[in-house]
Amino acid sequence: MAADKLGLVTRSHAGGYVVFLPEDGVTLNCQARGRIKKERSSILVGDRVELGELDLNRKEAVIIRCLERSSQSSRPNIANVDQVVIVQAIAQPEWNQLWCDRYIVHFQLEMPDTMPILCINKCDLAPGDQALSLRNIYEELGYRVLLCSAASGIGMDELAEMLCGRITVLAGPSGVGKSSLLNRLEPNLELKTGIMENEFGVGRHTTTASELYQLNPHFENLMLSSTQKSDIAWVADTPGFNLAELRCPEPQEVMWQFPEIVKLKESCRFSNCLHLVEDGCVILEEINRDDTSPVLVERYLSYASIMQHSQEAYEERRSTSTKIESTTKVTGGVLIPKLKGKYRAASRRKEKQRVVYDIDPDEEDSDSDDNED
């Protein structure tokens, strides 16, 4: 039997895991050893795993251990990611500032150690100055921005260069062209892509599960240095999220997700200001000032919308927790649900009363008659 080897989990499916073995350059179908299943330490795409019972002919092995993760995100459910590239389309579907900012906030919360990179795709469909002004907005805030087109090939070299030697997640709404970008970089992947119904149409959630793809062997056509070409790039294509899947911070935390607000908040005269309605709030004064304000109206609208969502979620949680409290009680230091009256066991006092009422008064009389006899 071959010695234990290390592999990378590239896909998980109902029947097990697909694991890439770099040493041999092969892909294996694997099952997790019973103990791992029992421990409920589920294995994720991106996990580095130790393999045993290797059978290269049948391309099968057993995962015996999962190595420690350097990072883990829950949406998408992936481990050991180095960076996330948020893909948004400039058209088809129409550019949506709020969606772009929601994705940025989501990944800042999911992967706080990495700054998300923004990839504006479908640049072949919009005038160049529109894409450039969007790039300026986000670069000013400290984000790296790529302008791309999977259709025409604009920006592909820059995207490929950024992916070399790293594990990257490509994320973004359905229909923005994530799978198309990967197909452009590596045509042999032949990933399924969706059809846009019309220019306002949203995607059809063509990609349904997160999967890691290796790109480099086919980077030859791109303008990369020879070392970059030999650096393996692993990229996860992911399905688009719906609104409920995107993370939302607590109300007091929302401002920390917007670098332009963080910069100004110290000069706000109110210490606990949420920068929404307070008269004299420095942020509100800034956005109303003129075009040179460091807080752009569109970005502020995203801030206000995310804040509103966050406050609603907070209120919802508060009201449900009160409901939960009223339906539970503490007995012997343990929180247990209160049962409806008809399911509840009678108290000792009630039991006593029932004993008294259950006794038939006539029977009692006859008893006493007997006794008299």
Ligand X SMILES: Nc1nc2c(ncn2[C@@H]2O[C@H](COP(=O)(O)OP(=O)(O)OP(=O)(O)O)[C@@H](O)[C@H]2O)c(=O)[nH]1
Nearer to Mg ion, 108 or 210 (CB): 210
- By rule CB under 6 A, what string of x and - marks binding of each residue 204-243 to ligand X? xxxx-------------------------------xx---
CB of 184 to ligand X, least distance (A): 8
In the complex, least distance from residue 209 CB atom to ligand X, rounded to whole angstroms = 10
- Residue 56 vs 209, nearer CB to ligand X: 209
CB-based contacts of 128-135 (< 8 A; 24+ apart in sequence): 130/90, 130/95, 131/90, 134/90, 134/95
What is the identity of the amino acid at 122? K
What's the closest the beta carbon of residue 167 comes to Mg ion, in angstroms?
18
Q: Does 195 bind ligand X (CB under 6 A)?
A: yes
User: How many C-beta neighbours within 10 Å does residue 165 have?
Assistant: 15
Give the binding-site size for ligand X (rule: CB under 6 A). 25
Q: Is residue 237 within a helix (H) or strand (E), and if so which, with residue range?
A: strand 234-237
Q: Say whether residue 302 binds Mg ion (CB under 5 A).
A: no
Which two structure tokens, joined as six digits, stand for 172? Answer: 């973004």
List, in sequence order, the alpha helices (H) in the chain: 34-38, 97-110, 128-140, 156-163, 178-185, 226-230, 259-265, 282-287, 297-326, 348-358, 361-372
Q: What number of H helices and E strands is found in the chain?
A: 11, 15
Between 175 and 251, name the residue whose CB sits nearer to ligand X. Answer: 175
Q: With CB under 5 A, what is the number of residues at the site for Mg ion?
A: 4
Q: What are phi and psi of 194, to 5 degrees?
A: -90, 170
Which range, of 11-19, 202-210, 252-260, 295-303, touches Mg ion by CB under 5 A?
A: 202-210
Q: Which of 83, 88, 108, 121 binds ligand X (CB under 6 A)?
A: 121
Binding status of residue 126 toward ligand X by CB under 6 A: no
Nearest distance from C-beta of residue 235 to Mg ion, angstroms: 12
**Nearest-approach distance from CB 338 to ligand X, in angstroms:** 45
Q: Quick one: which of 10, 12, 168, 179 contacts Mg ion (CB under 5 A)?
A: 179
Nearer to ligand X, 121 or 310 (CB): 121
Give the distance, in angstroms, between the CA of residue 72 and the centroid of all CA atoms in the same chain: 10
* C-alpha count within 13 angstroms, C-beta hemisphere, residue 6: 6
Please say whether the beta carbons of 199 and 89 come within 8 A. Answer: no
- Shortest Å distance, C-beta 122 to ligand X: 4
Are the CB atoms for 61 and 28 separated by under 8 Å? Answer: yes
Out of 176, 222, 233, 264, the only residue in the binding site for ligand X (CB under 6 A) is 176
The residues binding ligand X (CB under 6 A) are 121-122, 124-125, 149-151, 174-180, 193-196, 203-207, 239-240
